[in-house]
Structure 1
Amino acid sequence: MRTAAPGQVSDRRQQAYCIYIDPPPTGKTLALLKSFDLEIISGSRLRSVWKLAWPLVCLNLVNGTHGIVDHILVGHFIVSDNNAANAAIGVAWQVFLVLVVFITSVFHGMNVLISRNAGRQDRERLSRVFYTAFMASFVALTFIFGPVGYLLAPGLLRLMNVPPEVALHCLPYLRVLFVCGTPLFLMFLLTGAFHASGDPKLPLKLGVLTTVLNIVISTVLITGLGIFTPLGIRGAAFGTVLAPMVSGLLGIRLIYKRRTIIQPPERHRLMPDMRLLITMMRIGIPSGLQGVLLNIGGVMLLWYISLLEYSAAAQAAYIICYTQLFSLVSWISFGLRGASGTMIGQNIGAGNPKRGKEGVLIAGALAGFWAALVGILYISIPGTLLSLFNVTDGLVYDYAVTLLRYLSVSGIVLGIAQALTGGLQGAGATRPPMLIAFVTQIVTLLGFCQIFLSLNRLTPEVIWSAILLSHILRLLLSFLVFRRKGWEHTIAHLDTGSKPLV
């Protein structure tokens, strides 16, 4: 009998919790496997960034479309004072994302390991990374975060001091996210994995399908078309969580048909590879905590807004402008951040980190240029933009116009900072962005608001100023870290017994 090497599990023990599927691909099948994209690690830097960025940017634009459609439908078909139903959607997402930090940590660790192994053209390892992340996420979302989130939702809204008119719409939306959100997050996992492996067009195709289904389902369920009963805010939530089911199943089918770079495992484990999961967590936890800090900052900012004299109007202005209209900037910057991470991760895996860093700077320049163009729209036609959400006058309109002026500058700053953050995280250097998030989002943003609150001078414009200040500081700190040497050589181990990936 063969003896297991130190640090490995014996064959007999593996067989005890593995289910064998089809045999490994034959030589003929291997010849038909999707090839790695070598243009990501060679040739023009601008071309490499563009090749990674444009599908992801388009995907973010497509994904964001259903959010805007939901808000437009909710604003027109759900009666609420000061657009409270619109504010409820934004509040629900802030709470939801804070509680699923474990999942976002796994996702980021997975992306880093997949991109590095794609640069090394190691198909077996990156496929093993994906399967482990998939299993862990499915179990955690379905059996832990869903039930716990459903039970804690009312208390969390009370803790945030959400106005009653907003909480009335927020609670049912939030509970649907917790109970039925597994397909949505598994679609996020597929998107990140395909992109990190160097196949950005497939997530775009799946994203278009998801968005079309989302818009159709949300429209039918919110308004009650045909035989369906109007579900109001619940209809928007069900559209968000049901549409990814079809796209997610299609993506998994493509993997098992061996039409993607990621391949199915030779045998299914009933439990994820814990050593590999721990590795992903080590890489991803700082990024997950960064996301928590950013979302806590957002949640606490909503709390400060709730203390204003006309809090419901200010919250609606914030949700419409910062969550929806500002997405014209954030969609692009998030796409370029993802491109930066994949670019530097694959180039590190290929042994050329310098080329990856140059690609990150190019991504930052593109993000800043786009944000400047969008900022011109914020300043020149705010009324036209706000009318899409049925906001034409009153306090919500006044607050929103002022906020858009601040965001016209903030978008440029944040867009560049996002690209730099993507580069750091893609290299596995996830701690500096986490610390930067703490300094800017907690100390600066919330500290600024608290000072003015203690002076009894907290106003919407003070809060809008705090947002801009935190973004400027975030860019400065990110640039200082990016200029330092050594972070691009962060070593990530696949598991306890493996060699470093760089």
Structure 2
Amino acid sequence: MANIERTREEILSGSIEKTLLRLAYPLIINNLVQVMYNLTDTFWLAKLGRSELSAPGTVWPLLWFMMSLGSGFVVAGFAMVSQYIGAGEYKKASRVAGSLYSLLLMLSLLLAGIGIVISPFALRFIKVTPDVYPYALKYMIAIFAGVPVALTLHTFNFVLRAAGDTKTPVKVNILTIILNIILDPVFIFILDMGVLGAAIATIISEGIGSIIGGYLLFTGKVGIKISRDDLRPDVNLYIKTFKIGLPASIGDSTNSFGFVLLNRIIYTYGTVAFATYTITNRLTNFMFAFADGISQAMGTMVGQNIGAENYKRAREVAIKAMATNFLILVFGTLLFMAFREEIFRFFINDPGIIKESEKVVKYFAASFPFFGIFSAVTNVFASAGHTKKNLILGIIRLWGLRIPLSYYLGTTLGDSAGVWIGMGLSNVISALIGFAWFLKGSWMRRIVE
């Protein structure tokens, strides 16, 4: 508790730049290690072929759709825990954390069962090419079986980050990721399980991380301690969590379903286009590891300052974080453009994918810094507990811009270049809308008593 109090004082009155960096660097390290795992996973699966490589990218938005039904409540929990700590109400913060943990554990078991049942129907809906379908189905069923461990580990990360402890979750995550990196080639090649092996390695690694996270929370070896009483159902708290988290869940689920449709659009241009999209996502995750770390640290600072009703400081923190993110992503995008061919060839020396990557760089890459702004704005709104704003922004970006533009321009041009142009325009326009809304300041109001 003493550590939480010291961190709280630093967040509320210390140097913004130093505090932001101190909170962000463990998150950046965590994100980079996660990216290294994703790149390693992509590297190994690429050795099996473009069809195997495409399986995780195919499943990702479908998994995101199911996880989003629970992740909205995690967002609500983060907002309440961070604001209660900012207000100095530590017991209430622990109560929210415990209630959230038990709620999501029950919900995740239900989501896992539903996900397994709908897997074949979902893959047929997005018109997965016949060569990818069997690999995607195996991967999807296995990954859905692991939803309970993934969601509880996710909750552990959010609860501690809300309290200002960014180091402990990183240590746990790095352990699970390193374990995953080690297990990947063992299950994929040595045990000859292919794509299914990659999924099993992920479940085992996240399962160990989830057990460690639960142990730390329930024994009080971290700043927040969850007791048995905290786990008891609290109808009033559930209702409040539901009210705050529902727009986030709706936003995440509609966005993830939008990406399911986007996958369907991209698949109309063949496996080469989708494999290129999969590799591009992995590569952009590397540069976003830095920007996301800044945004996540910013979220903790914004949440606690809003809880303490330091609205002017919360706004200053957000603006400095956004400016930092934009510069980081400009630099990363320039490197991506300069070494595009060498980077893609490292993963798979496929002439079709190398050629397709040229369109990605030409029509999509320039929008990455703007997505950094969009991501930071939505992080501010989420930390403030104003999740309806994120719901609206997400719908505008994906359903109002990305899907119709990608479909229309792709059809009009008769080429996948239209899809990349539509995706780029959606990032730029939605970022400008989000930033203008942020400047209005309507998010500067706390949600806790």
TM-score normalised by the chain length of structure 1: 0.86
Amino acid at match of 2:326: G
1:40 to 5, 11, 25: 11
Query: In structure 2, what is the equivalent of residue 5 of structure 1?
Result: none
Contact 1:372 1:408 in 2 (8 A): no
Contact 2:52 2:132 in 1 (8 A): yes
Aligned-residue CA RMSD (Å): 1.8
| Rounded Cα–Cα distance in structure 2 between residues aligned with 1:459 and 1:291 | 29
1:478 to 430, 434, 438: 434
Query: In structure 1, what is the equivalent of residue 245 of structure 2?
Result: 284
Task: Report matched runs for 1:211-222 at 5 Å.
Answer: 211-222=177-188
1:324 to 282, 291, 312: 282
Change (3 A) 1:139 1:303: same
| Rounded Cα–Cα distance in structure 2 between residues aligned with 1:486 and 1:93 | 33
Any stretches of 5+ residues in structure 2 without a counterpart?
Answer: none
- Residues 108-159 of structure 1 show CA distances to partners (whole Å, capped at 9, x for unaligned) of 00100111011122221111111111111111112x1111111110001111
TM-score normalised by the chain length of structure 2: 0.95
2:309 to 316, 338, 351: 351
Change (3 A) 1:181 1:471: same
| Rounded Cα–Cα distance in structure 1 between residues aligned with 2:61 and 2:228 | 39
Larger radius of gyration: 1
Shift of 1:39: 0.8
Task: Report matched runs for 1:50-449 at 5 Å.
Answer: 50-76=21-47, 78=48, 80=49, 83-142=50-109, 144-224=110-190, 229-265=191-227, 267=229, 269=231, 271-308=232-269, 311-321=270-280, 323-390=281-348, 392-449=349-406
- The more displaced of 476-485 and 44-53 is 44-53
- Residues 43-71 of structure 1 show CA distances to partners (whole Å, capped at 9, x for unaligned) of 21112222222221221111222111111
Give the number of aligned pairs.
Answer: 448
- The more displaced of 249-258 and 155-164 is 249-258
Amino acid at match of 2:180: N
- Residues 479-500 of structure 1 show CA distances to partners (whole Å, capped at 9, x for unaligned) of 11111133211x424xxxxxx2
- Residues 305-343 of structure 1 show CA distances to partners (whole Å, capped at 9, x for unaligned) of 1222xx11000001111x201112332333222222211
- Residues 215-252 of structure 1 show CA distances to partners (whole Å, capped at 9, x for unaligned) of 1111210111xxxx211101110111110222222222
Contact 2:411 2:418 in 1 (8 A): no
3-state SS of paired residue (1:487): coil
Contact 2:363 2:417 in 1 (8 A): no
Amino acid at match of 1:399: E
| Rounded Cα–Cα distance in structure 1 between residues aligned with 2:3 and 2:356 | 54
Change (3 A) 1:318 1:454: closer
Contact 1:183 1:242 in 2 (8 A): no
Amino acid at match of 1:417: F
Whichever structure has more helix as a proportion of its residues is 2
| Rounded Cα–Cα distance in structure 2 between residues aligned with 1:462 and 1:155 | 28
3-state SS of paired residue (2:337): helix
Amino acid at match of 1:477: I
| Rounded Cα–Cα distance in structure 2 between residues aligned with 1:238 and 1:208 | 18
- Residues 248-295 of structure 1 show CA distances to partners (whole Å, capped at 9, x for unaligned) of 2222222233221211225365x5323212212221222222222332
Shift of 1:382: 1.1
Shift of 1:33: 7.3
Contact 2:75 2:248 in 1 (8 A): yes
| Rounded Cα–Cα distance in structure 2 between residues aligned with 1:266 and 1:327 | 38
The percentage of aligned residue pairs carrying the same residue is 23
- The more displaced of 446-455 and 354-363 is 446-455
- Residues 446-487 of structure 1 show CA distances to partners (whole Å, capped at 9, x for unaligned) of 1113334564x3311111001110000111111111111332
| Rounded Cα–Cα distance in structure 2 between residues aligned with 1:50 and 1:418 | 18
Any stretches of 5+ residues in structure 1 without a counterpart?
Answer: 1-29, 494-499
- Residues 172-194 of structure 1 show CA distances to partners (whole Å, capped at 9, x for unaligned) of 11101111222122111111111
| Rounded Cα–Cα distance in structure 2 between residues aligned with 1:168 and 1:380 | 36
- Residues 162-221 of structure 1 show CA distances to partners (whole Å, capped at 9, x for unaligned) of 111111210111101111222122111111111111101111111110111111111210
